[in-house]
Structure 1
Amino acid sequence: MNIAIIGAGALGSVIGFHLAAGSNVILIDLWAEHVHAINSGGLRCLIDNKERVVTLSATTDPSGVEPVEVALITVKAAQTAWAAEVAAQVLTTDGVAYTLQNGLGNVEILSARLGKQHVGQAVTTLGATILGPGYVRVAGLGTTTFSITPALHLAYAIADRFHASGLPAAVSTDLNRMVWSKLLVNVGINALTAILRVPNGALATTPTARNLVRKVVEEAVAVAQAAGITLNLTDPVAETLAVVQATADNYSSMLQDVLRGAPTEIDTINGAIVREGARLGVPTPCNAMLCELVAALEETAPLRVPA
């Protein structure tokens, strides 16, 4: 099986690092310095404070990529349209692009370009951080679950490749509840860590931060209930705080974006809750405020006072 990973950020790089040993894998990304570092010196990965290196192909130009049966979409939401165009170039006629992205709305963008028969959903709890060009750190080997649609055989095939590479994986008939359950956890972590400029664990260390987590997650739960979504979470607030503590040293993806001055995924995470809340008549004032604050962080990045 040929596999393309479209988006060689933290998540895509960690997956590529693991899959490289037993699969024909190529990373596709616009970050030329990262691509060059991988091609010239391999992809370095820090796992449990031990550094390993694998040889892996990477490119910024998909035009010369050999056709692939599976494309894993691991870009941020702002690049989904670009990823769809890349997938259209590299997928075989019966290939499938699985989105492992955060939030809501990415499947629709991919399907509009590729057709529903070529788009699958995946949910991952893998944690990763980019340390520099060609260098990534594993923050947690969580499970990646693939939808059985639109191609059952490919879902099992890619899950098997994950397993063989040391990455936990599963296949499921009901990804919707998993997507929403992960969304609720991201709602409670990403924006707050980005605004406060703290690693995940800091959200559990003070009563004020914990209360903010509770407020935004409870709003999201109310929206999910109004939408008729059955969640995998018995106690969403407690389970979000458990994730916070389990990934205490990790920098959330949104915090990493803010620190780089890059666009965030606020619109597909907290913004998705606000939009669904408005559609369903559920108030979401805390999530709306977080959206505005993160948008303001993005807009004022060039004016930021140095620490």
Structure 2
Amino acid sequence: MKIVVVGAGAIGGLLGSFLQKSGEDVTFVDINKEHVRVIQSAGLSVVRPNGTEIFKVQATTDIKEAGRPDLIIFAVKAYDNQQAAEDCLKIVGPDTTVLTVQNGVGNVDTLSAVLGRDRIIAGTTAFGCTVLGPGKIQPSEQGSISIGELDGRITARLQNVVDTFAKAGVEMHMSQNVDSLIWTKLLVNVGINALGAITLLTNGQLLEYGETAALQEAVVQEGAAVAKAKGIAFMVDDILEHVRGVARGTYNNKASMRQDIERGSRTEVLAINGAIVAAGKELGIPTPVNETLTKLVKAIEKRGKL
């Protein structure tokens, strides 16, 4: 299968490395010139506890050089969705499938408006990954991917994508309720990302302080109230305990939003905590804690790297 990874940072780089290792034809596309230069010259370095793997994979900053793919893995930051989707129009063919496993909500709507809803498969990943520098990432040791068609059908193309990742050794799950899948992951990000970015605590440390544990509970409860009003059920029985379980299970991880803050980069807070605030306003549901955290993260963004 010819695969183009658009946004070859942490998760995009990791998923592309899995597929390249299993023999798929993978090309990375990224706007970070230094990241691409290092991958072109030295390969993508994936740092693991037992050593570093080097993946010699094609990489470019010019999406037109990627050719026409069977599958696009769309892994850019949410704020780059519109431009990246428009760039994808330069390479999509009549049978190209686009898979998004991005954080936050609203990604599917943006991609659908530009590329066509019938192309899109959506899902989430339980992998964590840190960018250590240009051309170098460090993933969590465990993780999985859950994906589904937007209309809930189990199609041949969905099965093909699942089989392709499974051949690469990735634990895969098919979902017939993508909204539930995305909102369950959204609440995990709501409960961890902004707090990690503001406090610079690891995921697990957020549970060790009464103040951050209380804030986590508050933002998750606000998000759950919004989801209930929208008629969205979660994939788990107790969403707060699920968030806490993820935080414990990724104890030493730096949340992706914290990594953005440490680099002095823009964050996806508007697609995560900010999305809860926006939906709450539409539905008449108060979300004061999410609103406060969103404003704090945006202020830290404006301050820039210390």
Distance (whole Å) between structure 1 residues aligned to residue 123 and residue 189 of structure 2 = 15
TM-score, L = length of structure 1: 0.95
Distance (whole Å) between structure 2 residues aligned to residue 266 and residue 187 of structure 1 = 9
Query: Is 1:56 paired with 2:81?
Result: no
Q: Which residue among 250, 255, 265 is the counterpart of 2:253?
A: 250
State the match for 1:18 in structure 2. 18
Distance (whole Å) between structure 2 residues aligned to residue 42 and residue 218 of structure 1 = 43
Conserved 8 A contact 1:63-1:89: yes
Q: Which residue among 149, 159, 164 is the counterpart of 1:161?
A: 164
State the match for 1:35 in structure 2. 36
Distance (whole Å) between structure 1 residues aligned to residue 96 and residue 192 of structure 2 = 34
TM-score, L = length of structure 2: 0.95
Query: Is 1:233 paired with 2:236?
Result: yes
Return 263-272 or 197-206, whichever deviates more.
197-206
Match for 1:124: what amino acid? T
Equivalent position SS for 2:231: coil
Distance (whole Å) between structure 1 residues aligned to residue 161 and residue 229 of structure 2 = 34
Query: Is 1:121 paired with 2:142?
Result: no
Give runs of aligned pairs for residues 25-104 of structure 1, distance below 5 A.
25-104=26-105
Equivalent position SS for 2:94: strand
Match for 1:196: what amino acid? T
Distance (whole Å) between structure 1 residues aligned to residue 150 and residue 2 of structure 2 = 19
Distance (whole Å) between structure 1 residues aligned to residue 235 and residue 147 of structure 2 = 16
Distance (whole Å) between structure 1 residues aligned to residue 273 and residue 295 of structure 2 = 10
Match for 1:129: what amino acid? T
Query: Is 1:294 paired with 2:297?
Result: yes
Distance (whole Å) between structure 2 residues aligned to residue 157 and residue 140 of structure 1 = 25
Equivalent position SS for 1:90: coil
Question: How far did 1:149 drift?
Answer: 4.6
Distance (whole Å) between structure 2 residues aligned to residue 110 and residue 205 of structure 1 = 39
Distance (whole Å) between structure 2 residues aligned to residue 175 and residue 84 of structure 1 = 20
Percentage identity across paired residues of the two chains: 37
Give runs of aligned pairs for residues 251-266 of structure 1, distance below 5 A.
251-266=254-269
Structure 2 gaps of 5+ residues are none
Distance (whole Å) between structure 2 residues aligned to residue 75 and residue 46 of structure 1 = 21
Give runs of aligned pairs for residues 141-180 of structure 1, distance below 5 A.
141-149=142-150, 152-180=155-183
Equivalent position SS for 1:20: helix
Instruction: Give the paired residue count.
Output: 303
Match for 1:166: what amino acid? G
Conserved 8 A contact 1:5-1:72: yes
Distance (whole Å) between structure 2 residues aligned to residue 225 and residue 273 of structure 1 = 12
Equivalent position SS for 2:109: helix
Distance (whole Å) between structure 1 residues aligned to residue 44 and residue 229 of structure 2 = 45
Structure 1 gaps of 5+ residues are none
Conserved 8 A contact 2:100-2:123: yes
Equivalent position SS for 2:138: strand
